[in-house]
Amino acid sequence: MRIEDRQVLFEVGDRVRFATADGTLTGTVEKLNPARARVKSGPDVWTVPYAGLDHACRSRAEERGKRVGRLQEVAARAHALMDDNGLHDWSFRFSNARQRLGECRAKEKLIVLSRSHAAGGAPEDVTDTILHEIAHAVAGPDAAHGPAWKAIARRLGARPASRAHESDEARRTRDAAREGFRAGDTVEFIGRGEVRTGVIERMNPKRARVRSGDTVWLVPYPRLRISRQ
């Protein structure tokens, strides 16, 4: 198992143990970053590599350990399906993505699958995602999600639809945030690390089109707030 694959062993809220120069500490996972978890222990917050974390609860450790086996099964399945469809010189790996389930990188000859999707998704959905990306590889990058790609996806047994995932909770959060804004509102948001002020020009389904000076931004509604200036 790759070091980064250990992320699937943990979830926000898990009680964990980790070693420090002053001894072993116990804390709660607050956030899962790509290479490290943010763990709160007493008044302090630590960023701990996944390789340095252990579950405080043995039964939880055993339960989560099964996810590693699922990753191994999925990787083997992906390699077999890639070979079956002529992608002998392509590679496969997992990603930290949670919203994008899969990705085909034609220039790198690489199929990428969300690690959390592979570990926790229904087997038939995971296989469908793999076939979806293989269809992109076979069809070529110019095919996008057009007729040629759809025909290949159907032939391979994949559902010919986008694999971008949005959870029910994320959808509810977005819709609730959208209700708080109207075209013409002056809003604030973080853009490239800075607080910016702009005016909403258009309300799209998932993002607002905001003009800030000479620049137009597409900003997800949960990241907006009404300007108090």
Question: What is the per-residue pLDDT across 3-48, written as a single tens digit (0 to 9) for each?
Answer: 778 888 998 899 999 999 989 999 999 998 888 999 999 999 999 9
Give me 184's structure tokens.
């013409």
pLDDT band of residue 2 (cuts 50, 70, 90) is confident
CATH of 65-156, one of 3.40.50.300, 3.50.30.30, 3.30.2010.10, 3.30.70.20: 3.30.2010.10
Q: What is the mean pLDDT of residues 83-112?
A: 92
pLDDT, average across residues 206-218 = 87
Domain ranges in the chain with CATH number 2.30.30.140: 3-56, 168-226
How does residue 165 score in pLDDT terms, banded at 50, 70 and 90?
Answer: low
CATH 2.30.30.140 for the 168-226 domain, yes or no: yes
Q: Which CATH architecture has domain 3-56?
A: Roll (2.30)
Number of residues that make up the chain? 229
Between strands 207-212 and 215-220, the pairing is antiparallel
Task: Specify the domain boundaries for CATH 3.30.2010.10 within the chain.
Answer: 65-156
pLDDT at 164 over 70: no
pTM of the predicted model as reported, rounded to 2 decimal places = 0.64
User: What integer best gives the mean pLDDT of the chain?
Assistant: 89
Q: Are strands 207-212 and 53-55 parallel, antiparallel or unpaired?
A: unpaired
Residue range 88-106: mean pLDDT, rounded: 90
If one compares 193 and 204, the residue with the highest pLDDT of the two is: 204
What's the half-sphere exposure (Cβ side, CA atoms, 13 Å) at 204? 9
Both tokens assigned to 37:
């978890």
Q: What percent of the chain has pLDDT over 70?
A: 95
